[in-house]
């Protein structure tokens, strides 16, 4: 674990951490390489681009051709799914995550943004939340997407507030909650920064806060989000909502390095202990595929 204080010039720099799910019942990173991933989500095998997988693939091409569908980009952020010859695109299907106290269900479907409704590497954070949260603890999930962290926190009895600016995504999470046999999550369809500001004025506090901000986006009423302009004020405000012994998780797929996140933590939260590193997926052959940067403040 690294410290939130600067490294002594005479000492060795802190080693970055690598987090990846220790167990997945319904997901496998079958292979990666040549700019793509071959993944199994439940019963569905998919091929998706991944610019970070610059190494050679481990499996022969014929194994990749077994995918039910592959994603073909048609623009910077969008594309289309193409089924294998003679097959049709998968209809919405269900994937589970069972580990420790967690028994979660996610409805998945193919989207034009390459995603399917779950980021499997986030299971490392779901397990962590299940460890640090107790019944009645207040948990705030910002930029919550389809709610894996919200479901994990609710599974262990936490009082969960789920915030996302897109109503359709919140509705998707509600379906995941019901499929997981849970209830009682508080839904908020709002810009994350505006919600945090209101919580500051109310004096509310949380035992744990998770943030997974995008690089850019447009929220309700056309509110624009740009990571480099809005991250620091949002993070400062979120830290004010933490209880004294609270935990904050910051995850980003934007390209910000773990060292950058750790330096932000040192500047904004010198009294906290910061652990930074890469969030990864572990392939069936043992190789690690980095997916983003992760910071945990405790």
- Reported as a single tens digit per residue, the pLDDT across 77-134 is 899 999 999 899 999 999 999 999 999 999 999 999 999 999 999 999 999 999 999 9
Compute the distance between CA of residue 189 and CA of residue 172 in angstroms, rounded to an integer: 12
9-57 pLDDT, tens digit per residue, is 445 556 679 999 988 889 999 999 999 999 999 999 999 999 999 999 9
Q: What is the pLDDT of residue 271?
A: 86
Q: What is the pLDDT of residue 278?
A: 97
214-269 pLDDT, tens digit per residue, is 876 665 666 666 777 789 999 999 999 999 999 999 999 988 999 999 999 999 99
Torsion angle of alpha carbons 272, 161, 281, 130, nearest 10°?
70
Per-residue b or e along 231-243, where b marks 16 or more CB atoms closer than 10 Å to that residue's CB: beebbebbbebbe
Compute the distance between CA of residue 197 and CA of residue 202 in angstroms, rounded to an integer: 9
**18-297: which CATH architecture?**
3-Layer(aba) Sandwich (3.40)
192, 98, 198, 185: which is closest to 138 by C-alpha?
Answer: 185
On average, the pLDDT of the chain sits at: 91
Indicate whether 8 pLDDT > 70: no
Domain ranges of the chain: 18-297
Indicate whether 5 pLDDT > 60: no
Mean pLDDT calculated for residue range 204-212: 97
């Amino acid at each position: 674990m690294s410290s939130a204080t600067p490294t002594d010039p005479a000492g060795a720099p802190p080693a970055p951490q690598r987090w990846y799910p220790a167990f997945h019942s319904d997901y496998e990173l079958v292979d990666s390489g040549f700019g793509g991933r071959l993944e199994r989500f439940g019963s569905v095998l998919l091929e998706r681009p991944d610019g970070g997988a610059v190494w050679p693939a481990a499996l022969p091409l014929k194994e990749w051709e077994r995918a039910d569908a592959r994603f073909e980009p048609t623009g910077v952020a969008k594309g289309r799914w193409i089924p294998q010859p003679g097959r049709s695109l998968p209809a919405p299907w269900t994937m589970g995550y069972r580990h420790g106290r967690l028994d979660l269900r996610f409805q998945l479907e193919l989207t034009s943004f390459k995603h399917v409704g779950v980021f499997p590497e986030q299971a490392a954070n779901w397990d962590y939340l299940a460890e640090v949260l107790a019944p009645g603890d207040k948990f705030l999930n910002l930029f919550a997407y389809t709610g894996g962290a919200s479901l994990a926190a609710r599974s262990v009895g936490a009082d969960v507030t789920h915030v996302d600016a897109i109503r359709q995504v919140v509705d998707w999470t509600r379906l995941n909650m019901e499929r997981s046999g849970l209830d009682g999550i508080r839904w908020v369809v709002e810009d994350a920064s505006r919600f945090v500001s209101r919580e500051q004025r109310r004096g509310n506090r949380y035992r744990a806060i998770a943030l997974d901000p995008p690089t850019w986006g447009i929220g309700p009423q056309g509110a624009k989000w740009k990571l480099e302009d809005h991250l620091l004020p949002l993070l400062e405000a979120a830290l004010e909502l933490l209880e004294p012994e609270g935990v904050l998780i910051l995850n980003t797929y934007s390209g910000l390095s773990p060292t950058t996140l750790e330096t932000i933590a040192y500047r904004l939260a010198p009294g906290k202990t910061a652990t930074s590193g890469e969030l990864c997926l572990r392939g069936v052959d043992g190789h690690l595929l980095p997916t983003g940067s992760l910071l945990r403040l405790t």
